[in-house]
Chains A and B, each alone.
Chain A
Amino acid sequence: MSFTLKIKDKVEKREIDGDLTIKDLLDDLDLSSETMVSKKNGEIVIEEETIEDGDEIEFIQIIYGG
């Protein structure tokens, strides 16, 4: 199983082993859920959302330091 991950202009294909949620993925990437909004297939989703085969996941950083 694989999904597409988009962060800003960077797009990559990633493989999934077993169940993976948006929260797991944010933790894996060391990204803070306080600063990110997540989209799955173009729709805003919450962190408990499960990632499935063929999904397009996008993380949009909405809070910047400073």
Chain B
Amino acid sequence: MGSCTKCGNPNVIIKRKASGQALCKDCFIESIEKKVKQTIKKENFIEKGDKVLVALSGGKDSVVTLEILNSYVKRHIIELCAVTIDEGIAGYREEGVEIAKAHADRLGIPHKVVSFKESFGIDLDEIMKNENHRGSCTYCGVFRRWIINRAAREFGATKIATGHNLDDETQAILMNYLEGNTENLAKIGPKTESNSELFTVKIKPLREIPEKEIGLYALAKGLDIHLAGCPYAQESFRMEISNILNELVKEHPTIKYSTLRGFDKIRPAIRSEMAHDYEFDRCERCGEPSSNRLCRACTFLEELGK
């Protein structure tokens, strides 16, 4: 079966078809940490003195993001803080919140849990009881971004780190390309920046790591992670794209890397041709930045009678 291509250990935990490498537990852990640090350096994600807010759900991606960024705290390069969002999904979210709290405690990282209910007066379970709802993911995405952005300002964070991985990025590239959504395509990238100072820069340290390897890293390091599927997850275009990519990767193991790499090369051209520079004002209702009278979150809340 072969041994670790780096150290010769016979106990291999991964064979990477893309590179031909076989790695033991220790060499695999080291390879992931090295790759994430290379991405952080290449994309200038972090400057000395940054305070980075991690959007910490308790799932594998955010826990691994926190774990690896914590090595920069140990070296006194950055400070970390974390926010966990309780959307109000009974029977699902509670465990993730507890796991998130435990990781923040373990690492001594300032942490807060913010709920949809306290922020908007309604939680996701209540929203989904409405007959004319727009679909759970639509509300969840918009409301989570609203909370994360506000939490970043409250913590005085200079960056927001999310757990987006290689699969998330390649799915987004393909989805938006296939749908002809050039406006959203122009927004994809390692950093999300805005011309409004009210938005904090978002960084994606795991964007070059395949999703499966993030899960494997968490298990190999013995990190407690929330392993469960959202009860509101449903068939979606993203899921169809994900299935296509995972089918393709069997015979074309480098396909996700090449999709991302190719996109990153043409991204400057897409941005200069397609990106809009919105003029931001403040939402009339909540005061958050918005290019319209109401921000998306408040538009939804008005629809919901809140």
A interface vs B, CB < 8 Å? 32, 34-35, 37, 43-46, 48-49, 60-66
* Contacts A44-B219, A44-B220, A60-B219 given; does A34 touch B212 at CB 8 Å: yes
**Are A64 and B229 interface neighbours, CB within 8 A?**
yes
Beta-carbon contacts under 8 Å, B146-201 to A = none
Q: Is B266 located at the chain interface by the 8 A CB criterion?
A: no
Closest 8 CB pairs of A and B: A66-B233, A62-B215, A64-B229, A44-B13, A34-B246, A66-B230, A48-B1, A65-B239
Known contacts A62-B212, A63-B212, then 20 further A-B pairs from the complex at CB < 8 Å, ordered by chain A residue:
A34-B249, A37-B212, A37-B216, A43-B11, A44-B13, A44-B25, A44-B219, A46-B13, A48-B15, A60-B219, A62-B215, A62-B216, A62-B218, A62-B227, A63-B211, A64-B227, A64-B228, A65-B229, A66-B233, A66-B234
For B101, the chain A residues whose CB sits under 8 A away are none
Q: Compute how far the CA of A46 lies from the CA of B23 in the bound complex, rounded to whole angstroms.
A: 10
| Number of chain B residues whose Cβ lies closer than 8 Å to a Cβ of chain A | 29
Q: Indicate if the CB atoms of B212 and A64 lie closer than 8 Å.
A: no
Q: 21 pairs across A/B with beta carbons < 8 Å?
A: A32-B246, A34-B246, A34-B249, A35-B212, A43-B11, A44-B216, A44-B219, A46-B12, A46-B22, A48-B1, A62-B212, A62-B219, A63-B211, A64-B227, A64-B228, A64-B229, A64-B230, A65-B229, A65-B239, A66-B232, A66-B234
- The contact of A45 among B13, B60, B212, B228, by CB within 8 Å, is B13
**Closest beta carbon of chain B to A30's beta carbon, Å:** 14
Give the dominant DSSP class at A's interface.
loop
Most buried by B among A34, A35, A48: A34
B234–A61 touching, CB < 8 Å: no
Identify which of B1, B137, B219 contacts A49 (C-beta below 8 A).
Answer: B1
Q: How far is the CA of A26 from the CA of B206 in the complex (A)?
A: 28
CA separation between A32 and B141, bound complex, in Å? 28
Complex formed: what's the CA distance from A12 to B194 in Å?
A: 53
